[in-house]
Amino acid sequence: MLHPHHAIDYVEINVTDLEAAQAFYVEAFGWRFDDYGPAYAGIRSSDGGPEVGGLSAAAPPDLGGEFEGSTIVLEVGTTVLTMSGGWDGTAEAYDASFARLCFGTVDALIQALGPALAGERLLDVGSGPGAVAAAAEDAGFAVTGVDADDSMIKLARRKHPDIAFVQGALPQLPFSSGVFDAVGANFVVNHCADPRAALRELRRVTRLGGRVALTIWLGLVSPLNQLWNDVMADASVRPPPGKTLPPEKDFERTGSGLAGVVTGSGLQDVVVREVQWLFCISPNDLWRAVAGGIATIGQTYRAQDKITQLKMHDAYTRLTCERYPDGELRLHFTALAANAVRGTAH
């Protein structure tokens, strides 16, 4: 979806002072402008080439693009930039980017929880846009999804209207004890402030003899994290301090570390294995997560001033073009998957 007249790859909308905005970009980047009246200014690079962007006092109805609340997403080549006046559209940006990454373990998770017997109920914890829930429904389970984020719940309900999604979060889920035959948590426990309490809660809502399956990231620098580190270094952005849990709450992000913490929660017959997959995504879709403020890299991006944000995007575009000239990122990932049973002990 391009600008109807030019190959636009950057449009900032809802600009309240076009003159001030133009002055900012002239000083920062040497950009030139074509004025089209009080509502829109076209951006030209300093070499006098064709228009590459624009500043708009509103979102013109003929601009083209995909609107998400006050966000407009415009695509050209291998570039996507989103300029938002709020946080609307975050769930959709996640669905187009990191949710697809996390989908790599869904089959392994469902296989660990199945096969579903007639009438068995499954709880998808941290359901997000509903990928695990949908796969579980296809496998024959009666599914309920639960997520802490209201925008994720709304998106999941739109995508999967036949599945029940409710709001709630670990370590206090809004369900009675022992009401589910199977419980899945795809990349959830690794984000919890108290992983042990989270695992005990997964056990609590599982019936006696029921199954629990979960995934976490290994404690290694992933290829995607390395890309973000390279982008920040190229743009002279200081990486944010790493977030670590208190020693008494943390556990080693290894196979033995995961097995130990799952066993310690009271679950039995614990099996841990590695899951590997190839994650393929366009630079456009992946950048949506950054511009949407998702994960550490998105929060880092949102914390920068406009000049630094543009430097980060320029670094990202250059690095991805150099490394993936055919326009698709291909990244190998490895995660840990654990499955266990709620026995009669404890």
**Residues whose CB falls within 8 Å of the CB of residue 282, separated by 6 or more in sequence, listed in order:** 78, 327, 328, 329
Residue ranges of the alpha helices (H) in the chain?
Answer: 18-29, 90-96, 98-102, 106-113, 131-138, 150-159, 195-204, 223-234, 255-264, 283-291, 295-302, 306-323
pLDDT, tens digit, 9 for 90 and up, residues 29-46? 566 666 666 666 676 655
- Of 63 and 113, more confident: 113
75 residue type, one letter: E
Banded pLDDT at 338 (limits 50, 70, 90):
very high
For 254-266, give one letter per residue: b (16+ CB within 10 A) or e.
eeebbbebbbebe
Residue ranges of the alpha helices (H) in 139-279?
Answer: 150-159, 195-204, 223-234, 255-264
Banded pLDDT at 85 (limits 50, 70, 90):
very low
pLDDT > 80? residue 75: no
Banded pLDDT at 187 (limits 50, 70, 90):
very high
Banded pLDDT at 15 (limits 50, 70, 90):
low
Q: Report the C-alpha gap between 78 and 194 in whole angstroms.
A: 40
Give the per-residue pLDDT at 114.
81
pLDDT > 70? residue 7: no
CATH class of 1-64: alpha beta
Q: Report the C-alpha gap between 52 and 320 in whole angstroms.
A: 20
The angle, 0 to 180 degrees and rounded to 10, between the axes of the packed helices 223-234 and 295-302 is 20
In the chain, how long is the greatest CA-to-CA distance? Answer: 74
* pLDDT, mean of residues 184-194: 95
pLDDT, tens digit, 9 for 90 and up, residues 283-304? 999 999 999 899 899 999 988 9
Phi-psi bin for 328: left (phi > 0), alpha (psi -120 to 50), beta? beta
* pLDDT, mean of residues 82-101: 70
Banded pLDDT at 90 (limits 50, 70, 90):
confident
Q: Domain ranges in the chain?
A: 1-64
* pLDDT, mean of residues 216-223: 92
Average pLDDT, the chain: 83
β-pairing, 51-56 vs 40-44, is antiparallel
Q: Report the C-alpha gap between 33 and 59 in whole angstroms.
A: 18
For the chain, report the end-to-end CA distance as a whole number of angstroms: 58
**Residues whose CB falls within 8 Å of the CB of residue 161, separated by 6 or more in sequence, listed in order:** none
pLDDT, tens digit, 9 for 90 and up, residues 235-265? 999 887 767 788 899 999 999 999 999 999 9
Peptide bond into 115 cis (omega under 30): yes
